[in-house]
Amino acid sequence: MQPRIEPFGTEIGPKFARHIIAASKAAAASAVPAATLELVNIRASQINGCGGCLDMHTKEAARAGETTLRLSLVAAWRDTTVFTGAERAALELTEQGTRLADGGGVTDEAWAKAAEHYDDEALMALVSQIAVINAFNRMNVMTRQQGGGYEPGQHI
């Protein structure tokens, strides 16, 4: 698979990315743990099949101290014992917020479970990060950006 275009080789690509990155920084400055935000990024990227984002976020999570075990189990988080209740609620919110086109949207049950662990500011940070990673996933998947060559710290 060859990339269709190099987004950063265009005039609009870097401008667009700067705005998305700025939005991501708002979520990163919240009370939501950075590890949770990386789990959100990884799970949405798995669902959307974004190799570039998976490459980046698994490496950044590992660099920040996330364990290989937890990174390996994100896709099967429901069937594991390694994630906290708050992380599980964030992962459920991520899945439902990423799969909006599948119908149903985000259920009241998923929202209530997340609200048990996060206040309104943190919930908005999670919603924002889910929106941001989905935007990056869509851009990268449409333009066929490949994973594998990301160096930790490269875009952060």
pLDDT at 47: 98
> Over 80: is that where the pLDDT of 26 sits?
yes
> Over 70: is that where the pLDDT of 156 sits?
no
pLDDT at 69: 97
Closest C-alpha among 150, 125, 134 to residue 31: 125
Task: State the CATH architecture for 34-142.
Answer: Up-down Bundle (1.20)
| Domain spans, the chain | 34-142
pLDDT in tens, 130-139: 999 999 999 9
pLDDT at 3: 87
Tell me how far apart the alpha carbons of residues 118 and 123 are, in angstroms, rounded to a whole number: 6
Tell me how far apart the alpha carbons of residues 38 and 33 are, in angstroms, rounded to a whole number: 9
Q: Where are the alpha helices (DSSP H) in the chain?
A: 12-28, 34-48, 51-63, 68-73, 85-98, 108-117, 120-142
pTM here? Answer: 0.94
